[in-house]
Structure 1
Amino acid sequence: MHSIERPVDPATYRKVVGRFATGVAIVTTRVDGLDHAMTVNSFTSVSLDPLLVLFCAEKVARFHDAVMEAGVWGVSVLPASMEDASRFFAHRGRPLNGQLVRWSHHRGASGVALFDGALATIECATTAVHDGGDHSIVVGGVTALDTPADGAPLLYHDGQYKTL
């Protein structure tokens, strides 16, 4: 590994990487009968053989501990029409009880909540967790897939929600 000769300002870093447009998803899990959910834009396909995806969870977020304990999780890729859900599940400290009632959803085979209005849903079982600084990189083997709805994707770019 190479050492970094000069430090980079974190605010500048955030602005620069924010120029990379991403899709938006909500990752869900369930522990002791309680649903946990978190908006992410750090979701990506990793491998076709085996089928693997990943997302990143901030270590101080309560979702982090929940997904580590559960070992299973779901991804709902959001359409532009679900920006309200993205904003809600990005908010820290919201009550867990009843947090999903505003949006139509169903349970996948693993028991996690999946949003009916999602462009795509993916269920996963955690296969690896890697250190990623203040985040954990959570890799999951895909156990189920679906495309419940059609529509334009919700995007995040330059600190704002956008659509195609």
Structure 2
Amino acid sequence: MVGKFATGVVVVTTRLDGVDHAMTVNSFTSVSLDPLLVLFCAEKLARFHDAVLEAGVWGVSVLPASMEDASRFFAHRGRPLDGQLASWAHHRSPAGVALFDGAIATLEASTSAVHDGGDHSIVVGAVTALGTPSEGAPLLYYDSSYGTL
């Protein structure tokens, strides 16, 4: 049933001890406008989980349909961390996390709360920076397949 709910696709990034970490996420949503809060869910077994919680700051790149390759790449477990961002143009947010230049929207957030969500943690963040670096149709995920509007 949950696979029948269409979602957008983002890559969440963080930087810990000079190392970039990234993960494809489709469990991303806005929470509040005042203050501006967003959330995503991270699987507790993923190495990204501990890195993002320890770093306390993270970036979100909302992917356009043209970046399906990035979504697939950052969804794979166990890939080497060194050089993983090299295939996609990106820049650093004010806090130093990577944001994709080809994204249709970006944001930076600092973690304001973490809630237990079974085998995932629900990570809530206060948005500290916003951007719209590119234009394009959003990448969507529905019924285990990618699509667009």
Same fold (TM > 0.5): yes
- What letter is aligned with 1:76? S
Instruction: Say if 2:94 is the partner of 1:109.
Output: yes
Aligned length, in residue pairs: 149
Q: Which whole-Å CA distance do the structure 1 matches of 2:8 and 2:33 have between them?
A: 20
Q: Structure 2 unaligned runs (5+)?
A: none
Aligned-residue offset at 1:68: 0.6
Aligned-residue offset at 1:159: 0.4
What is the percentage of aligned positions where both structures have the same residue? 81
Q: Which whole-Å CA distance do the structure 1 matches of 2:79 and 2:93 have between them?
A: 24
- What letter is aligned with 1:22? T
Aligned-residue offset at 1:51: 0.5
Instruction: Say if 2:70 is the partner of 1:85.
Output: yes
Indicate the SS of the match to 1:18.
Answer: helix
Indicate the SS of the match to 1:88.
Answer: helix
> 2:33 maps to which residue?
48
Structure label with greater radius of gyration: 1
> 2:3 maps to which residue?
18
Deviations 1:130-155 (A, max 9, x none): 00000000000000000000000000
Deviation above 6 Å: which 4+ runs of structure 1? none
Q: Structure 1 unaligned runs (5+)?
A: 1-15
> 1:76 maps to which residue?
61
Q: Which whole-Å CA distance do the structure 2 matches of 1:106 and 1:70 have between them?
A: 18
From the two aligned structures, give the one with the greater strand fraction.
2
Q: 1:96 aligns with which of 71, 78, 81?
A: 81
Deviations 1:64-92 (A, max 9, x none): 00001100000000000000000000000
Instruction: Say if 2:31 is the partner of 1:31.
Output: no
Q: Which whole-Å CA distance do the structure 2 matches of 1:106 and 1:50 have between them?
A: 26
Q: Which whole-Å CA distance do the structure 2 matches of 1:48 and 1:110 have between them?
A: 22
User: Given the two structures, how large is their TM-score scaled by the length of structure 2?
Assistant: 1.00
User: Given the two structures, how large is their TM-score scaled by the length of structure 1?
Assistant: 0.91
Q: Which whole-Å CA distance do the structure 1 matches of 2:59 and 2:136 have between them?
A: 20
Indicate the SS of the match to 2:111.
Answer: strand
